[in-house]
Amino acid sequence: MKLTIIGTGYVGLVSGVCFADLGNHVTCVDKEEGKIEKLQQGEIPIYEPGLQELLRINADAGRLSFTTDLTNAVRNAELIIIAVGTPSMAGGEANMSYIYRAARSIGEAMNGYKIIMIKSTVPVGTNEKIKAIIAECSSYPFDVVAVPEFLREGSAVKDSFHPDRIIIGSDNPKAAAIAVELHRELTDNILVTDIRSAEMIKYASNAYLATRISFINEIANICEKVGADVTEVALGMGLDQRIGSSFLNAGIGYGGSCFPKDTKALIQIAGNVDYDFKLLKSVVDVNRDQRNNVIQKLEEFIGSLRGRTIAIWGLAFKPNTDDVREAPSQDIIEELVRRDVIVKVYDPVAMDNFRKGFDHPNIIWCSNAISATEGADALCLLTEWPEFAEMDMRVVGSKMNNAVLFDGRNVFKRELIHHLDFQYYSVGRPHLNRTKAGERDHRIYAAD
């Protein structure tokens, strides 16, 4: 098929590259000329394993192109995908201005029947509004289908080619059948439903996964008080087929472009129909509070933080991405800086993105993990990049003023911790915590 994708952000770019690799002719449109010029040169604006090579292969094969000319891209397409951002506004609701602007531009450019596919995450009822906007601007026939995306940053290419399921929302069987055919090569697990249900499936899925993360973090906090090991608890829970093991890794909470935005948006959607989504509000609160544990534990280990030097390993909200949106590192570093702490930071790929959004004289940008720890009073591991787990922690400890380690992602295993001269704190594993070198923290068992 001839496809046009409006928006070259995370969803639009990955979708465009992967649809081209399936043999479709894809034109990706963006109004930012600088971004389009880089894409035309084979450079991608995000870090996503495997994406740049795939882009170059399909561009060289003539199946993938990039332009700022939306009008011609729409006119030459059979199917148009809207994949622009819907960021959160101050009240938590999604900002729909970009998607409505794209819809109006499509309507003004249409020259015949088109299928408009919405991949952007949108509140329930948005596809109907998009349809109305296009109809105001065009007399040509068209259909709107909702196909929410479920890509995970860091494995988006794999997820595109091997999805768990495809959701297609449509009120026209003909348009639905075309959308099914476009995705048929990817999976047979395709659910065709009404448009509003498709919109809701996206929000409900992300809200549920965020709930699992906050739930296991609450369990971790209880484990620390009763002397249980949250990793063992999660393992035992996951063996139950009704529960499963995914998203039961305790830590410092979720971040990124989806979970924080979509949970807040769903709370707002519920509020708009006079429903108080108490559970999801608690999920958001727990996630916020989980980040504060880092500051609290640092103070327990080394006392007042003022004037101290703290090393940070990891800025991205998860490994294999340079995305720092809503990353726990932002709140933690901002609080450290507020307390007059010198913060030495290192991340394999997310340094530039973090610095664009937050720079400060108290932040020292380090070129590698070891240099970040030199002269530090404590080390906080905030993103579970593989290279951190492979570090020689004896060397790390020798570089620090105080061998204090806060393992915010439970990266280090029991066998390693027992052989290190670190004061150590992980999340929900009290039997590994030590208030000083070689000594387990017995305070956690005060209730025994």
Supply the residues annotated as catalytic: 258
231 is in an annotated binding site: no
Q: Are 247 and 212 in contact (CB under 8 A)?
A: yes
383 is in an annotated binding site: no
321 is in an annotated binding site: no
Dig out the tokens for 213 from the structure: 């993360």
Q: Are 134 and 105 in contact (CB under 8 A)?
A: no
2 is in an annotated binding site: no
Q: Are 188 and 201 in contact (CB under 8 A)?
A: no
277 is in an annotated binding site: no
Listed in order, strand segments (DSSP E) in 299-420 are 309-313, 342-346, 363-365, 378-381, 404-407
Listed in order, strand segments (DSSP E) in 59-149 are 64-67, 79-82, 114-118, 142-146
Helix (H, G, I), strand (E, B) or coil at 329: helix
278 is in an annotated binding site: no
121 is in an annotated binding site: yes
Q: Are 3 and 25 in contact (CB under 8 A)?
A: yes
Residue 141: Cβ-neighbour burial (10 angstroms; 0-12, 13-18, 19+): exposed
Residue 240: Cβ-neighbour burial (10 angstroms; 0-12, 13-18, 19+): exposed
Token pair 């899925």 in the structure block, residue:
205
131 is in an annotated binding site: no
248 is in an annotated binding site: yes
How do 439-440 and 434-436 pair as beta strands? antiparallel
247 is in an annotated binding site: yes
325 is in an annotated binding site: yes
150 is in an annotated binding site: yes
251 is in an annotated binding site: yes
Binding site for substrate, by residue number, is: 150-153, 202, 247-251, 255, 318
Binding site for NAD(+), by residue number, is: 30, 35, 86, 121, 153, 261, 325
Binding site, by residue number, is: 30, 35, 86, 121, 150-153, 202, 247-251, 255, 261, 318, 325
